[in-house]
Amino acid sequence: MNAHPQWHIDTQDFRSLARARLLPAPPLPPARARGLRPAAVLMPLLHVNDALHLLFTVRPAGMPSHAGEVCFPGGGVKAGEDALRAALREAREEVGIALEQVEVLGFCDAQVTGSGHVIAPLLGLVAADCAIAPCPREVAEVFTAPLAHFLDVANYRVERRLVRGRWRDYRVVRWDGHVIWGATAAILWRLRERLA
C-alpha cells in the first residue's frame, strides 16, 4: 500500500485491508516476553481533513517514566481484563475516547519493551463526533499525523541513543517537530509491515 502525496486513503478500502491483515484477537507474546508485564495501547484513527490520521499523546515532563515521550494511549492490563478492554479503558482515561466510539479493526504483533512490558497494539477507527479530552495528569499534548506518513518506509530512520548507560539502535520517525522512537516507532513499523 503506497502513501499518496495528498495522504488520502479510502476509509472503506482501509477497513477491509486492516481486517484482512491485522490479528482478530490480542497477539500471543513471544517466548522471550515471558515474565514481562502485559500492556495494551490503542492506535486511534481519526478523520482529519478527509484523511485518516493517527492520534498520539505526549507524556508530561514530570512523569516518573518515559517523560516527554510520544506514545499511543495505553497502559498495563489489569487483573480480570484482556488487552482489548485495557486499550479501550486507557484511551478513555487518557484522552476521553469512549468504548462505543471505537470501531475495532484488529491487533498488531506484540511489542516487547526495554521497560519490562509486552504491549498488544490495537488499531481502532474513532467516531467522527468524538471529542478528544486529554487528562492533564497523564497527557501534556495530543496531535495527529497522517496514517499514510507511517506506511511509507522512506520516513523511518535508525538512530543510536544512550539509554540507561547503554548505546542502543532505535527506529525513529518524525512528524511536524515530533520525534517518535522506541516502542511507539516499533509498533508503527510493525503496522506498516502488516499493511504493506
**Digit-coded pLDDT (tens) for 1-17:** 444 444 567 888 999 99
Amino acid at 189: W
- 3-state secondary structure at position 56: strand
pLDDT average, residue stretch 36-41: 94
Q: Could you tell me the pTM of the whole model?
A: 0.91
CATH superfamily, region 11-195: Nucleoside Triphosphate Pyrophosphohydrolase (3.90.79.10)
- Distance (Å) of CA 27 to CA 33, 70, 108: 12, 23, 7
Looking at residue 1, its pLDDT comes to 40
Q: What's the CA gap between 70 and 104, in Å, rounded?
A: 22
Domain ranges of the chain: 11-195
With beta carbons less than 8 A apart as the criterion, state whether 108 and 27 touch: yes
**Digit-coded pLDDT (tens) for 127-140:** 999 999 999 999 99
Q: What's the CA gap between 97 and 85, in Å, rounded?
A: 13
Cell (9 digits) for 147: 496514517
Q: Name the DSSP class of 29.
A: P
